[in-house]
Structure 1
Amino acid sequence: MAAIVTLYKTFKDRYGLGSQLIDFVNKLMENPANPSLHVEPVVQAADKRVRTARVTQKYRAVLFELQGTRERQFVLIDVLNHDDAYDFATTKQLSFNHITGVTELKDVEAPISAAVTQEEIESRAKQLAAEKLAQLQAEEEAAKSAAESAAEEEKAPAVAEPTPATLLKAEGISEEALSDELGLSPLTVEILLTARTVADVEELLSTHPEWERNAVIGLMAGMSIAEIRADLRLDESRDQAARIEDHESDEAIIEGMKTPAGKMEFIVAPGQEDLESIISGGSFDAWRVYLHPNQQRAVEAQHSGSGRITGGAGTGKTVVVVHRTKHLLDQNPGARVLLTTYTRDLANALKTQMNLLDPDFPEASVHGAPGLWISGVDALVADVIRNSQPLEREKALRDNFGIDGTFTPKALDSREERNFWEESVAVKGGDLSPEKAHPTFLSQEYSTVILTHGVTDERSYLRVRRAGRGTPLSRAERKAVWATVEMFHAKCASARKLTFAALAVLAAHIVENRDSVRMFDHVLIDEAQDFHAGHWRFLRACVVEGPNDIFLAEDSHQRIYGQRLVLSHYGIHTRGRASTKLRVNYRTTAQNLGYASAILDGTEWIDSEEEVDDLHGYHSVRRGPAPTILQSASKSEEAEQVAALIAEWISTAEQDDTEISVGVLTRTRQRMTEISAQLGEHEVPLATGRITTAERPVSVMTMHNAKGLEFTHVVLADVSADALPQAYLMRGLAEAERDDSLQRERALLYVAASRARDLLVVSTIGEASALLPAEVTA
């Protein structure tokens, strides 16, 4: 009789058995009674369901055998040396948490009999927690003593950190609520009540169930029990548990592994390809299999129209978008699906991830054909215009811009656009104040008001609502602005060029006015916060309105291009249940995350649904060293110090036989060129592009170009008062536009800081930027 095989999250081929281990798993699935497997119970084990089985003469697998009502299942935990496997098996227990409905793998010192009372269990938990805390505190004191003797430098008195128990009390969370409402184990509750610091809690829970660790870290970040239950989808699991009569049964264990939180620990019935990848430890990426329950909900959600995910940097928004793309294609392989993002580089990264998740995904032959088309949004706009008919372009140019012609317009670069606005307003701007005659103001007015609402004449412009525009315009000023826009269009016609936003509007008109059906059934968008008005009009025109038509991922804190827009202005509605917020950061350590988040303080962030976007509950599941501040008196000194740090990091990585990637990020292209040359003189192994290699693990790029990347080590170069914010960008702007520009500079610094996975270094030359957290600038 065949069986299902499930893998525990830490299962791996630690001894390099390769094909032998794969053959073992396949035999187990085909016929567990195969005599060569020697599947045997373990004497005096904590769990009567635990077994060992022969992989080779030397190695045995530790696994649990479960007999459900519909299936026989084996849960593979580890492969160890013969004697070690038996010892390991006696201390493991699979249990069903009746509060959460989640299956958990636990360490048990001895078999627990039914006669053991809850009081005795709690007493054991208190004793074990005390022993763990004592050991951890002894290690910390020893490390502290060594550090103090190694470096005797004066430091400001440390501010006492509130204990976890104090944090819980401040939120009104009782000991009973932790166990009875959240389902935390007695040991975990005791650790929370007695640990000195949050760091101690996270260290002591490192081997606890993944859902439990996530729940505790969420509590420490200020989330309520209700928010955590919703985030981990524990209410769904609890409802499922209520339908199971015997919580001690194999059936309960099987069902508990299939819950959203259970899938954080167990890979139920992996396919052959995933199985081989996991065992080989080669190309396997955790994100391909493990999704947070909140991510899984967003992937599988059925929307009557559009859907959205939001979340801070590193919360896995791109992972959700890629998984949802596969989900929609699995549901309907013949669907016409567009996966798009802001730049060509980001689109290439999406294609790489899609190939990793599903190497056989159905790729469309051309955009609009059945299958998946992956493209940067501007590249798709250009394709539509380039492949359009002359009559289509003629109508679109005339209807939208009052331009006569059938030419195929190209894109205005930023310098050309600025010159066109300056020349146009000089002739037609009348008595507009300098702030309202500023090219930046006019460009933003053009994109967010005129192109958004399809304004094509003065009368319409005089009546249109300018929602979101902080600088008011009188009727006379609107007339002057419209006259300037008409002159701007004339210059665009003469040059046969349009702004990128206007090109997207042109493409939208072409698509909308075709008799055929829209180009796509589903459109999925990553980095949506950076899309401009033209993009949204184009994408709305591309997809058939209906269930799951548009799905987007955004983070208003990472808006580094353009202006804040409101999705409802483009016929896209994602309020309420259509939106999911992600709060768990998987990339950045808690220390780096806290520093990056502090950059955002002091300003209000509004998302595309006109709602305040805060970082409540935003937390990391990783810990590491605090960011380092590097101070220099000159650019050459900065480069010398950075080169020395990188040399040290590379040397350490070589000794530890680990790979590193280093990103040196600058605000300007000029500083990027300068420090690249300086680091080269110090023989730093620089990569030739954005992507590092083992031989050349250091990449230098602007902060803008680092969007979508991550590095083990990041250096933010020249984060000085003269470099950030860029003063020239705000010179001559009205207050509202100046505030918006400053917010984008703050967002850019946040994006750059959040690229660091393990180590973050902030380098300043002279006076530090005022955008850095207060402790740095003080």
Structure 2
Amino acid sequence: MPRLGIAKEFLAEYAKLQKPVQKAVDAAIAKFREHTHAGLHLEKLNNAKDPRIRTIRINDFYRGVVLAPDSGDEFLLLTVLPHDEAIAYATSRRFTVNQALGVLEVRDQRGLDAIEPTLREAAKGSPRQLFAHVKDADLKRLGIDSHLLPLVRLLSTEEHLEALANLLPAAQYDVLVALAAGYTPEEVWSEISAYLPAGTRPTEVDTEDISAAIARTPDRFAMVSGPEELTQILKHPFDAWRIFLHPAQREIAYRSSYSGPTLVTGGAGTGKTVTALHRAVFLARRAAAPASVLLTTFTRNLADALDHQLALLTDEPEVRERIEVLNVDRLAHRVFSEAYGRQPDIVDPRELRQLWEKAAASSGFNAVFLEREWVQVILAQGLREPAQYLTARRHGRGKALRADQRLAVWEAIRHVTDTLRQLGQHTHLQLADEAARLLAERPVRPYRHVIVDEGQDLHPAQWRLLSHAAARGPDDLFISPRPTPPTPPTPGMPPRRGGAVW
């Protein structure tokens, strides 16, 4: 009887499917367990970049993608997608075993083939080679695939390397980024080898042994022990993601304590949200009072998704009552309401636009410029007086302003904020700024721990609110944003001490 493995990517796609399609997937898997390949329509694709890739028919519109072994009876269900997307995925990907780490990797071979002529042409006119200082032997020792070495040797700038971010296997891309940043091969190996699960560091790698590679890659793939386990996994796909916690991620989520605010970073699909959820549960189990942990994010929809996922992760009533899931705007509303005994009145965006246009007409400045100056400089830095604005940094705001121009801008913006105050109205960011001030004045903060998921879109005023929601101390802030291009720090953003990074 064949043994089936599943990929984390498959679970993510399965969870999105409509119920009839999920039932069709279940039926296909049941046939697979019976080893009735004819019933599965296990098909080889002539133009696939990996000869071991197969597709299986789910229904008239969906297909599954399977990695089939050259020999043996272990199969890996990679994903299930609409027909054309499944064919595109199956024909473009190539799966290999990392020759240094022994983990199973995937690369977009078709994408790499497409970009190679452009890199080759760019290399002709470049006086430098990005990895001229690194020997081929060192690249191979760090896990760079021999077939990729010619492409790596074409890279002449960091921008060219960044263009490969979504095409190369993650581990190999990380190696190249570290080498390009000036790390020695020994330093790079020390970093990447730490991500292997305990007891799985290979002394010798068989690049043809897919089964062993899967065992070394629990963050992305897992073999299913039997029908009962598979049924439970498919019943709650997100719940099953717990088996995909990478040892390094588990270490972050279950570390006994951090000295202060902790920033956890990682690319898409690296498990930041799941790690944040595990951290919330871990801290809640140690807490003594209800609502000790705030799990928050940018929008209400994201918060609702977190709440649903949290319910799948733990069914312990005492743990759930110690975790409150709110998006940042709802937290600001609550703080305001508790302080003033009434709900805040949020200004209509159309009415706000009219206020800015009126201020622009009387000041000579553009309405968009005034609003962005208010949001990106004045609100961002929590400026209360014109003297503060005169000396404030305006990074990224374009043309510099003289002192008299800054005073004119301040007056124009003040007319808008005074009107809002007279109307008793706020913007969401104003509300966050006010709520942050109110919490800062409280002798007791509402939470012991604040965990922030998808925090990359939060405004500094919202960060100030979250930083005041828990008392300063160990484990006060745990932040998992999606990576964004680096920018200089903005006053009001959380400090990055005690951080853990993967």
Shared fold (TM-score, shorter chain, > 0.5)? yes
* SS of corresponding position for 1:322: helix
Asked if the contact 1:540/1:570 (under 8 Å) is kept, the reply is no
Structure with bigger gyration radius: 1
Match of 2:458, as an amino acid?
Answer: F
* SS of corresponding position for 1:159: helix
Q: Which residue of 2 aligns with 1:759?
A: none
* SS of corresponding position for 2:339: coil
Q: Which residue of 2 aligns with 1:349?
A: 305
Cα deviation for residue 498 of structure 1 reads 1.3
Q: Which residue of 1 aligns with 2:378?
A: 450
Q: Which runs of 5+ in 1 are unaligned?
A: 1-6, 19-86, 90-98, 106-139, 141-155, 199-212, 249-256, 366-370, 391-406, 582-778
Cα distance in 1 for partners of 2:280, 2:313 equals 10
Indicate the percent of aligned positions where both proteins have the same amino acid: 28
Cα deviation for residue 336 of structure 1 reads 0.9
Q: Which residue of 1 aligns with 2:470?
A: 543
- What does 1:192-207 correspond to in 2, within 5 Å? 192=146
Q: Which residue of 2 aligns with 1:413?
A: 348
Cα distance in 2 for partners of 1:235, 1:332 equals 32
Asked if the contact 2:281/2:319 (under 8 Å) is kept, the reply is no
Q: Which residue of 1 aligns with 2:448?
A: 521
Match of 2:117 among 144, 156, 159: 159
Asked if the contact 2:335/2:435 (under 8 Å) is kept, the reply is yes
Cα deviation for residue 546 of structure 1 reads 1.1
Structure 1 pair 338–445 and aligned structure 2 pair: CA distance change class (3 A): same
Cα deviation for residue 478 of structure 1 reads 1.9
* SS of corresponding position for 2:117: coil
Structure 1 pair 481–331 and aligned structure 2 pair: CA distance change class (3 A): same
Q: Which residue of 2 aligns with 1:494?
A: 422
Post-superposition CA distance 1:625-683 (Å, at most 9, x none): xxxxxxxxxxxxxxxxxxxxxxxxxxxxxxxxxxxxxxxxxxxxxxxxxxxxxxxxxxx
Cα deviation for residue 16 of structure 1 reads 8.9
Structure 1 pair 266–496 and aligned structure 2 pair: CA distance change class (3 A): closer
Q: Is the aligned partner of 1:336 residue 2:258? A: no
Asked if the contact 2:262/2:479 (under 8 Å) is kept, the reply is yes
Cα distance in 1 for partners of 2:118, 2:170 equals 25
Post-superposition CA distance 1:298-349 (Å, at most 9, x none): 4345421111123444443323322322232244464711111111111111
Q: Which runs of 5+ in 2 are unaligned?
A: 8-25, 34-71, 75-98, 105-109, 121-128, 153-168, 205-211
Cα deviation for residue 291 of structure 1 reads 2.4
Cα distance in 2 for partners of 1:193, 1:447 equals 50
Asked if the contact 1:8/1:265 (under 8 Å) is kept, the reply is no
Asked if the contact 2:464/2:494 (under 8 Å) is kept, the reply is no
Q: Is the aligned partner of 1:289 residue 2:243? A: yes
Q: Which residue of 1 aligns with 2:495?
A: 573
Match of 1:440, as an amino acid?
Answer: V
Cα deviation for residue 15 of structure 1 reads 5.8
Q: Which residue of 1 aligns with 2:81?
A: none
Q: Is the aligned partner of 1:375 residue 2:375? A: no
Post-superposition CA distance 1:664-704 (Å, at most 9, x none): xxxxxxxxxxxxxxxxxxxxxxxxxxxxxxxxxxxxxxxxx
Structure 1 pair 160–480 and aligned structure 2 pair: CA distance change class (3 A): closer
Cα deviation for residue 222 of structure 1 reads 7.9
Q: Which has the higher helix share?
A: 2
Asked if the contact 1:452/1:570 (under 8 Å) is kept, the reply is yes
Structure 1 pair 387–104 and aligned structure 2 pair: CA distance change class (3 A): closer
Cα distance in 2 for partners of 1:538, 1:169 equals 45
Cα distance in 2 for partners of 1:573, 1:300 equals 22
Post-superposition CA distance 1:425-449 (Å, at most 9, x none): 444x3xxxx5xx2222222222333
Asked if the contact 2:294/2:451 (under 8 Å) is kept, the reply is yes
Cα distance in 2 for partners of 1:408, 1:466 equals 33
Asked if the contact 1:511/1:518 (under 8 Å) is kept, the reply is yes
Cα distance in 1 for partners of 2:311, 2:5 equals 23
* SS of corresponding position for 1:444: helix
Cα distance in 1 for partners of 2:231, 2:177 equals 32
Q: Which residue of 1 aligns with 2:191?
A: 230
Cα distance in 1 for partners of 2:400, 2:196 equals 48
Q: Which residue of 2 aligns with 1:422?
A: 357
Post-superposition CA distance 1:439-478 (Å, at most 9, x none): 2222222233323443323333334444554332211112
Cα distance in 2 for partners of 1:383, 1:157 equals 51
Cα deviation for residue 267 of structure 1 reads 7.8
Cα deviation for residue 504 of structure 1 reads 0.9
Q: Which residue of 1 aligns with 2:412?
A: 484
Cα deviation for residue 363 of structure 1 reads 6.2
Structure 1 pair 323–439 and aligned structure 2 pair: CA distance change class (3 A): farther
Post-superposition CA distance 1:334-372 (Å, at most 9, x none): 47111111111111111122222223364666xxxxx11
Structure 1 pair 161–418 and aligned structure 2 pair: CA distance change class (3 A): closer
Cα distance in 2 for partners of 1:476, 1:288 equals 58
Cα distance in 2 for partners of 1:16, 1:235 equals 34
Q: Which residue of 2 aligns with 1:327?
A: 282
Structure 1 pair 514–289 and aligned structure 2 pair: CA distance change class (3 A): same
* SS of corresponding position for 1:504: helix
Cα distance in 2 for partners of 1:565, 1:418 equals 29
Post-superposition CA distance 1:690-743 (Å, at most 9, x none): xxxxxxxxxxxxxxxxxxxxxxxxxxxxxxxxxxxxxxxxxxxxxxxxxxxxxx
Asked if the contact 2:103/2:216 (under 8 Å) is kept, the reply is no
Asked if the contact 2:456/2:481 (under 8 Å) is kept, the reply is yes
Cα distance in 2 for partners of 1:415, 1:422 equals 11
Cα distance in 1 for partners of 2:222, 2:264 equals 25
Match of 1:385 among 336, 340, 354: 336
Cα deviation for residue 241 of structure 1 reads 8.1
Cα deviation for residue 497 of structure 1 reads 0.7
Cα distance in 2 for partners of 1:572, 1:160 equals 41
Cα distance in 2 for partners of 1:483, 1:169 equals 54
Asked if the contact 1:422/1:439 (under 8 Å) is kept, the reply is yes
Match of 1:376, as an amino acid?
Answer: N
Post-superposition CA distance 1:493-512 (Å, at most 9, x none): 23221121111111122222
Cα distance in 2 for partners of 1:280, 1:529 equals 31
Structure 1 pair 485–237 and aligned structure 2 pair: CA distance change class (3 A): same
Cα distance in 2 for partners of 1:193, 1:489 equals 61
Q: Which residue of 2 aligns with 1:316?
A: 271
Cα deviation for residue 229 of structure 1 reads 4.7
Post-superposition CA distance 1:143-196 (Å, at most 9, x none): xxxxxxxxxxxxx9983988xxxx9986724447745xx5x7xxxx9x736999
Structure 1 pair 235–477 and aligned structure 2 pair: CA distance change class (3 A): same
Cα deviation for residue 537 of structure 1 reads 1.8
Q: Which residue of 1 aligns with 2:402?
A: 474
Using CA pairs below 8 Å that are at least 6 residues apart, which structure has the higher relative contact order? 2
Q: Which residue of 2 aligns with 1:307?
A: 262
- What does 1:350-749 correspond to in 2, within 5 Å? 350-360=306-316, 362=318, 371-389=322-340, 408-427=343-362, 429=363, 434=364, 437-515=365-443, 517-555=444-482, 557=484, 566=489, 569-570=491-492, 572-574=494-496, 578-581=499-502
* SS of corresponding position for 2:401: coil
Match of 1:377, as an amino acid?
Answer: V
Count of residues in Structure 1 that have an aligned counterpart in Structure 2: 371
Structure 1 pair 266–420 and aligned structure 2 pair: CA distance change class (3 A): closer
Cα distance in 2 for partners of 1:280, 1:293 equals 20
